């Protein structure tokens, strides 16, 4: 692989990338060939690029080269900056590349303030903008998190679980269809019969029955109810007495993001597969031969670029130490491992994190309990149920 000779102030060389994504095709073909006849795996694994298995220095070198290439191809780019650790890595990589190659276009940065952000995060956004000499525009949603939660419901366990249970609450499809499917000898025929019985409920049927639309069992993927162990049985025995939904994220982030990102050709985010949840499953963009998990063209002609997608937690730790990256006080002082909407129930340790925040920002902790309290209590019940079931087995 050819290496561009110049180095940035932080010492990272930028690789030329003519062969990086070409070599990825061979890697994909090898994985597909080896996986024939084995357990189903999503495109997260089958489309895994070759550089994803390199050691940290070589991986980041490859990624920065790809960043350079993509910015040259699509100079009208916007990057979401959350104030979290992934965002700190991606802005450092982009701005380091722009130091090395001054002709690279500037990137627009935007911070979406949901209304339930820590002061530590807001202060860090300002400090980061000053550090790199860039503008990070703060944008607020039209519908705040309090109103969205009251109107649509609150998250539980994950965005995937929240979406599935929200549809179940709205459409009233009985949980017993999971038993019908499990007991059926011809599962494809049963899946077709359920489709006819419950029209416009296809994703919900798949969610409850742990299958795909062809009726093939998919018990081990994250898009089904039992991706959280015993969840189907728990919901049967202890139905929720509150509305579940992840719509607050749509209202406070996604909708406003679509509006802000509309004038731009390429949208850059710091999403990583290791974060789990929705970020670890393939996106809904129409799949074609040129799309990858890291870079995809959407149906509206825009490009989504996720350069850190295959960066592991271990890779991040190396990068932070090597380049002396300073995260926000939420990490460095409070001791959190993730940030975002304060107290979001999608985090399995939301309450634990709130207690870490409480000595520094008690008001935001109080607000989180007022908004998400029922979800915290319901999760405690689920955790107790799961523990007891595992002991019984």
Contact assessment for residue 138 and residue 126, using Cβ atoms and an 8 Å cutoff = no
pTM tops 0.75, yes or no:
yes
Give the C-alpha separation, 330 to 365, whole Å: 13
pLDDT tens sequence across 8-66: 434 454 444 444 444 444 443 443 444 445 554 555 556 678 888 899 999 999 999 99
Of 326, 331, 291, 323, the closest CA to residue 60 belongs to: 323
Would you state the pLDDT for residue 143? 85
Per-chain mean pLDDT for the chain: 86
Phi-psi region of 312 (alpha: psi -120 to 50; beta: other; left: phi over 0): beta
Q: If you average pLDDT over residues 192-210, what whole number do you get?
A: 96
Which residue ranges does the chain devote to CATH 3.40.50.620? Answer: 3-148+247-330
**Nearest-10 crossing angle of helices 85-100, 119-132:** 10
Arithmetic mean of pLDDT, 177-187: 96
> Would you place residue 378 in the very low, low, confident or very high pLDDT band (cuts 50, 70, 90)?
very high
Strands (E), 252-378: 266-268, 295-297, 303-305
* Residue range 76-122, pLDDT digits in tens: 999 999 999 999 999 999 999 999 999 999 999 999 998 899 999 99
Predicted pLDDT of residue 29: 42
Predicted confidence at residue 16, as pLDDT, reads 45
Task: Give per-residue pLDDT as tens, 227-265.
Answer: 999 999 999 999 999 999 989 888 888 888 889 999 999
Place of tokens 């780019």: 77
* 138 neighbors 125 (Cβ within 8 angstroms): yes
3-state secondary structure of 80: strand
End-to-end, the C-alpha distance of the chain in Å comes to 53
CATH fold for domain 3-148+247-330: Rossmann fold (3.40.50)
Q: Say if residues 264 and 77 touch (Cβ distance below 8 Å).
A: yes
């Amino acid at each position: 692989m050819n290496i561009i000779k110049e180095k940035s102030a932080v010492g990272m060389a930028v690789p030329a990338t003519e062969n990086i994504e070409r070599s990825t095709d061979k890697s994909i073909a090898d994985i597909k060939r080896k996986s024939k006849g084995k357990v189903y795996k999503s495109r997260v694994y089958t489309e895994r690029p070759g550089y994803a298995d390199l050691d940290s220095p070589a991986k980041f070198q490859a990624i920065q080269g790809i960043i350079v290439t993509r910015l040259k191809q699509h100079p009208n780019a916007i990057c979401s900056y959350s104030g979290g650790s992934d965002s700190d890595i991606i802005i450092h990589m982009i701005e380091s590349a722009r130091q090395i190659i001054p002709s690279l276009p500037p990137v627009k940065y935007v911070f979406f303030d949901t209304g339930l952000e820590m002061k530590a995060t807001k202060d860090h956004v300002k400090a980061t903008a000053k550090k790199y000499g860039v503008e990070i525009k703060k944008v607020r949603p039209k519908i705040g998190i309090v109103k969205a939660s009251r109107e649509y419901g609150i998250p539980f366990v994950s965005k995937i679980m929240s979406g599935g249970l929200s549809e179940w609450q709205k459409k009233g499809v009985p949980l017993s269809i999971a038993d019908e499917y499990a007991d059926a000898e011809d599962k494809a025929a049963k899946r077709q019969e359920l489709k006819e019985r419950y029209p416009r409920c296809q994703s919900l049927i798949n969610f409850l029955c742990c299958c795909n639309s062809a009726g093939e069992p998919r018990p081990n993927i994250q898009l089904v109810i039992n991706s959280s162990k015993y969840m189907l049985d728990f919901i049967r025995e202890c139905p929720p007495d509150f509305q579940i939904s992840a719509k607050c994220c749509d209202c406070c982030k996604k909708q406003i993001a679509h509006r802000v990102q509309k004038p731009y050709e390429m949208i850059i985010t710091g999403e990583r597969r290791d974060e789990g949840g929705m970020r670890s499953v393939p996106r809904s963009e129409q799949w074609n031969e040129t799309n990858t998990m890291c870079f995809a063209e959407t149906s509206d002609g825009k490009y989504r670029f996720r350069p850190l997608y295959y960066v592991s937690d271990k890779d991040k730790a190396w990068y932070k130490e090597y380049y002396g990256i300073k995260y926000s006080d939420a990490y460095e002082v409070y001791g959190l491992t993730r940030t975002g909407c304060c107290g979001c129930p999608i985090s399995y340790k939301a309450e634990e994190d709130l207690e870490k925040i409480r000595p520094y920002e008690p008001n935001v902790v109080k607000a989180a309990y007022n908004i998400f309290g029922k979800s915290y209590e319901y999760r405690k019940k689920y955790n107790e149920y799961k523990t007891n079931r595992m002991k019984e087995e």
